[in-house]
Structure 1
Amino acid sequence: MKWRKLCFVLPFVLSLFLISYVSALTPQDAMMEAFKTGNHSVVEPYLSPTMKAIFSEKLFTTTRNALIEKYGSIEGYRLTKEEKENRYEVYYYQINAERGNYTVSVTVKGGKVKGFHVSALPFAPTASGLLYPLLGAFLGFLVLWAYLRKFHGAELILGAVLLIPVLLLQPLVQGLPKFLNVTNLVFLILWTGLIAALFQEPLKYYLSRDKTLGKALYVGIGFGLAEGIYVAINASLLGGASWIALIERFLSVVFHASTTVFFAYSYRNGKGREALIAMILAHWAIDSLATYWHYNVSTLVLAITYALMLAIAAVILFKLLPAAKTENEEPAVKW
Structure 2
Amino acid sequence: MKKLTLFFIILLATLALAERPYDNVAEATFNALKTGDYSLLEPHLDDAMKSAFKENDFKAFREDLISKYGNLQRYSFVKEGKVKGFILGYYAFEFEKANVTLRLVFREINGEYKLSGLWIDAVNAKKSGLPLGIAIFFPIAGGFLALLTFYLLGFKKIGGAEILLGFVLVAITLFVQPLIQNAPFLGTSIRSNSDIVARGTSFVIIVAIWLGFVAGFFQEGLKYIFCRNRYLRDALFIGVGFGLGEAILLPLIQVVQLMTVGGIPPQLTTSLLSLGERYLATLFHAGTTIVLAYSYKNGFGRKALLVLSIAHGIGDTFAAYYQLTQSRITLLITYVLFLLVSLLLLHYALPKVREEREEDRIVW
Q: In 1, distance between residues paired with 2:140 and 2:253?
A: 12
What is the CA distance between 1:96 and its match in structure 2?
A: 9.6
Match of 1:138 among 136, 139, 144: 144
Q: In 2, distance between residues paired with 1:52 and 1:138?
A: 42
What is the CA distance between 1:253 and its match in structure 2?
A: 0.5
Secondary structure class of the residue paired with 1:78: strand
Give the counterpart letter for 2:132 in structure 1: T
Residue number in structure 2 paired with 1:12: none
- Relative distance call for 1:128 and 1:50 in structure 2 (3 A) is farther
Q: Report the identity percentage.
A: 29
Residue number in structure 2 paired with 1:200: 219
> Is 1:252 matched up with 2:281?
yes
Residue number in structure 1 paired with 2:173: 166
Secondary structure class of the residue paired with 1:243: helix
For structure 2, the residue ranges without an aligned partner over 5 or more in a row are: 1-21, 43-52, 108-113, 191-198
Instruction: Look at both structures and tell me which one has the larger radius of gyration over its CA atoms.
Output: 2
- Relative distance call for 1:232 and 1:40 in structure 2 (3 A) is farther
Q: In 2, distance between residues paired with 1:187 and 1:318?
A: 33
Q: In 1, distance between residues paired with 2:307 and 2:59?
A: 31
For structure 1, the residue ranges without an aligned partner over 5 or more in a row are: 1-21, 66-72
Across the two proteins, how many residue pairs are aligned to each other? 293
Residue number in structure 2 paired with 1:126: 132
Q: Could you list the per-position Cα deviations for residues 282-329 of structure 1 after superposition, in whole angstroms to 9, with x for gaps in the alignment?
A: 111111101111233233222211111111111111121122134235
**Comparing 125-134 and 206-215, the one that deviates more:** 125-134
What is the CA distance between 1:82 and its match in structure 2?
A: 6.2
Residue number in structure 1 paired with 2:78: 78
Residue number in structure 1 paired with 2:271: 242
In the TM superposition, what are the counterparts of 1:1-335 in structure 2 within 5 Å? 24-25=24-25, 30=29, 33=30, 39=34, 41=36, 47-48=53-54, 51=57, 55=61, 57=63, 59-64=64-69, 78-79=78-79, 93=90, 116=120, 126-147=132-153, 148-179=155-186, 180-181=188-189, 183=199, 184-236=203-255, 237=258, 238=263, 239-240=265-266, 241-329=270-358
Instruction: Verify the 8 A CA contact 2:91 2:102 in the aligned structure 1.
Output: yes
Q: In 1, distance between residues paired with 2:233 and 2:90?
A: 51
Give the counterpart letter for 1:300 in structure 2: I
Q: In 1, distance between residues paired with 2:361 and 2:81?
A: 56
Instruction: Verify the 8 A CA contact 1:174 1:192 in the aligned structure 2.
Output: yes
Give the counterpart letter for 1:223 in structure 2: F
- Relative distance call for 1:115 and 1:76 in structure 2 (3 A) is closer
Q: In 2, distance between residues paired with 1:333 and 1:43?
A: 64
Secondary structure class of the residue paired with 2:36: helix
